[in-house]
Amino acid sequence: MRGIVLAGGTGSRLWPITKAISKQLLPIHSKPLIYYPISTMMLAGIRDILLITTPSDQEIFRVLLGDGSRFGINLKYLTQPKPTGLAEAFLIGKEFIDEENVALILGDNIFHGTGLGPQLRLSGPTGGAKIFGVKVKDPRGYGVLEIDKSGGIVSVEEKPINPKSNYVIPGLYFYDNNVVEVARNIQPSIRGELEITSVNEVYLSQNKLSYSLLPRGTAWFDAGSVESLFAATSYVRAIEEREGVMIGCLEEVAWRNGWISSTDLQNAAKDLKGNSYSLYLNSLLNE
């Protein structure tokens, strides 16, 4: 299983903040936003990760993350020159995907909850596609998942004016290797984009689309607006200050996965030179 983190786009919902900086580099409490989706990939056991950025932002991400080796992962970079749809990620990354299955996560999505890692590790498809569902108050700005009384998927619909349910599809998807061919054959939407919903509709038409509802207590944030950015920051701060654990700490996930050693963790703490993040890394060694 390989992973793609899509961190392109213009961040227009956050203008003027994001006129000069990628939204995925904005802080969510003690870490840049991009740490959170990468940590979700790592929790799912995925070590080969492709980060897709805008051409102008790629070098900044390279400075921040390097080749990923200090987090126990293999990080590659490609660019999406224009925001022409989420499904384009599979065409951009087709050589990276190669003959593997692939997970896609949006670079502004944050997931947190007890047991999230084990749930994601079981989500990789043996054939077909796997999506998730989250119940929200107003689903009109998202892909909407319609489920019948027996639990089967009736439809998936992109940002409907009159949603058929309150279950939305968050920005985390698992696909078999056929997704590259599916993405190559879908048509652009009215917006001129290759929609991820169109990909899901193809799998649904083939009876190869499955889903899981994220359990109650699992937090999900689409941190692409001012309001959601603030909400995510407030949530992460509350959890970290109350429980004394960090969300989205890449070094910790790598260490607990056995991908880096305690010596590597100690060296990472030294490199960060005595701030609260490095103090937290050191505290892990004293557990």
CATH number, domain 2-127+172-248: 3.90.550.10
| CB-based burial label for 260 (10 Å; 0-12, 13-18, 19+) | buried
For residue 211, the surrounding DSSP H or E stretch is strand 209-213
Q: How far is CA 41 from the centre of its chain?
A: 7
The reported pLDDT for the residue numbered 124 is 64
Instruction: Give buried/exposed letters for 100-129 (b at 16+ CB in 10 A, else e).
Output: ebbbbbbbbbbbbeeebbebbeebbbeebb
* H helices present in 128-224, as ranges: 179-185, 196-205
The reported pLDDT for the residue numbered 11 is 65
The reported pLDDT for the residue numbered 65 is 98
Does the predicted model carry a pTM greater than 0.85? Answer: yes
| CB-based burial label for 182 (10 Å; 0-12, 13-18, 19+) | buried
The residue extents of the domains of the chain are: 2-127+172-248
The reported pLDDT for the residue numbered 10 is 66
The reported pLDDT for the residue numbered 287 is 72
The reported pLDDT for the residue numbered 127 is 83
Name the residue among 51, 64, 50 with its Cα closest to residue 100. 50
3-state secondary structure of 41: helix
Distances (CA, A) of 281 to 43, 97, 117: 18, 32, 20
31: which 2 tokens?
A: 């870490």
Distance between CA atoms of residues 37 and 55, nearest Å: 20
Which residues of the chain register pLDDT less than 70?
10-11, 19, 123-126
